[in-house]
């Protein structure tokens, strides 16, 4: 069954945030002062998450990504992954993590059915790592990445948000690191997610610029998107050392094919990364609604979806009319990236 929105975009990918907590405080993501943390009793239980995931899959979702906050701070996450991996009709299950706890949790995650993983890594310089994350230790993440690789998870994608003046001088170091260890580097344009970071267009290193820099050392051939709706455009190294991906979220927006729906840790269904609000599914779950009722609610919400924030932003940037503080957005740690 396929569920489509106003622009005939199907609902195909579900991102589930399992917590808004995080052991890091990345400067481009974490709202510090004004944020009200989700209370524990408001978090969906694993049973509630799995029930909703099944209903989303009934409506055509084929891929689920677990995210957060930092998903690995949620206790017994492998149990959730085990239950999700058994959902019939689900084609792909993945996880995005900061990698800090991966060394100890990778084997259990793999046993639970996780076959691939994305790890965020913005720098290979230990001091800079500390400055960006405020709390993290680079060596933990590097150890975690290799532990995940040793379990046989593949591909392992290394997500780097490129910020001018912060880590754009490290693009090639991260490319070399990924090539050396059989990982897939993925560079992401810096976005104005949430309400607290210091985003500006000048700080966004464009997809084209990232590509040009890598190409100046390694010839690349465009492979295209893994799936027609995937955000990353992939490029293969002509020398055979794997591939990289670049996500042009700001300068090459992909709203026209966006099939992503998000579930917050407290049970809000959100139809865009830049939305200012969501639709309360916890109320339905805890109010005794049947599967049929919840499914038709999900369908209704998706059927009127008109989100195309990044398309509009790019149009406005080019006509000089973009004011980033114009509307209040849900924070990235609530939504999951
Ligand atoms: N804590 C996990 C992690 O860091 O991988 C998962 C959640 S995090 C919100 C998901 C992804 O969003 C990370 O790869 C992070 O780098 C990315 N992200 C956060 N803020 C961003 C921003 N302003 N622009 C682009 N990507 C961002
Ligand atoms: Fe935490 Fe991930 Fe946000 Fe960094 S990017 S603060 S690790 S949720
Ligand atoms: Fe999808 Fe919203 Fe991002 Fe556009 S801005 S690609 S609609 S999440």
Per-residue pLDDT of the chain (337 residues; tens, 9 = 90+): 789 999 999 999 999 999 999 999 998 888 776 788 999 999 999 999 999 999 999 999 999 999 999 999 999 999 999 999 999 999 999 999 999 999 999 999 999 999 999 999 999 999 999 999 999 999 999 999 999 999 999 999 999 999 999 999 999 999 999 999 999 999 999 998 888 788 888 999 999 999 999 999 999 999 988 887 889 999 999 999 999 999 999 999 999 999 999 999 999 999 999 999 999 999 999 999 999 999 999 999 999 999 999 999 898 888 877 777 667 888 888 877 7
Measured from CB, residues less than 6 Å from any atom of ligand 1 are 22, 28-29, 67-68, 70, 96-98, 120, 159, 161, 188, 190-191, 193, 197, 332-333, 336-337
Place of tokens 């995937």: 230
Ligand number nearest CA of 271 is 3
Give the dihedral of Cα atoms 311, 316, 319, 324; nearest 10 deg.
-140
Quote the ligand 2 centre to 254 CA distance (angstroms).
Answer: 23
Chain-centre distance for alpha carbon 114:
16
Mutate to test the pocket of ligand 2, among 32, 70, 137 (most ligand atoms within 8 A of CB): 70
DSSP state of 218: S
SS3 call for 328: coil
* Distance spanning both ends of the chain, measured CA to CA: 26
SS3 call for 284: helix
SS3 call for 171: helix
Mutate to test the pocket of ligand 3, among 273, 311, 315, 327 (most ligand atoms within 8 A of CB): 273
Which has the closest alpha carbon to 49: 86, 90, 87, 80?
80
Ligand 3 atom closest to residue 311's alpha carbon, by position in its atom list: 4
Quote the ligand 1 centre to 231 CA distance (angstroms).
Answer: 14
pLDDT for position 326: 67
Mutate to test the pocket of ligand 2, among 17, 18, 20, 22 (most ligand atoms within 8 A of CB): 22
């Amino acid at each position: 069954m396929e569920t489509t929105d106003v622009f005939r975009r199907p609902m195909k990918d579900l991102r589930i945030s399992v917590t808004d907590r995080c052991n890091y405080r990345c400067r481009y993501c974490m709202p510090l002062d004004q944020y009200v943390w989700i209370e524990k009793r408001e978090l969906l239980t694993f049973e509630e998450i799995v029930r909703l995931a099944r209903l989303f899959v009934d409506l055509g979702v084929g891929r689920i990504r677990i995210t957060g906050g930092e998903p690995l701070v949620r206790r017994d996450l492998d149990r959730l992954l085990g239950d999700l991996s058994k959902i019939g009709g689900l084609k792909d299950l993945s996880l995005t993590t900061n990698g800090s706890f991966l060394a100890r949790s990778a084997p259990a995650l793999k046993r639970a059915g996780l076959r691939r993983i994305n790890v965020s890594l913005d720098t290979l310089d230990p001091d800079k790592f500390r400055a960006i994350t405020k709390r993290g230790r680079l060596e933990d993440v590097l150890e975690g990445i290799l532990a995940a690789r040793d379990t046989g998870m593949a591909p392992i994608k290394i997500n780097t948000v490129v910020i001018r003046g912060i880590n754009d001088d490290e693009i090639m170091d991260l490319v070399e690191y990924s090539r050396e260890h059989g990982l897939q580097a993925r560079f992401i344009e810096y976005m104005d997610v949430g309400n607290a970071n210091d985003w500006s267009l000048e700080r966004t290193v464009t997809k084209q610029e990232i590509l040009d820099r890598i190409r100046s050392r390694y010839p690349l051939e465009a492979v295209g998107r893994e799936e027609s709706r995937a955000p990353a455009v992939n490029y293969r190294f002509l020398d055979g050392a794997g591939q990289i991906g670049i996500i042009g979220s700001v300068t090459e927006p992909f709203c026209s094919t966006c099939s992503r729906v998000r579930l917050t840790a407290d049970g809000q269904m959100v139809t865009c990364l830049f939305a200012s609000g969501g639709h309360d599914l916890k109320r339905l779950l805890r109010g005794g609604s049947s599967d049929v009722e919840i499914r038709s609610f999900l369908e209704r919400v998706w059927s009127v979806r008109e989100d195309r924030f990044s398309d509009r932003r790019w149009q406005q940037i080019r006509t000089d009319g973009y004011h980033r503080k114009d509307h209040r957005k849900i924070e990235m740690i609530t939504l999951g990236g």
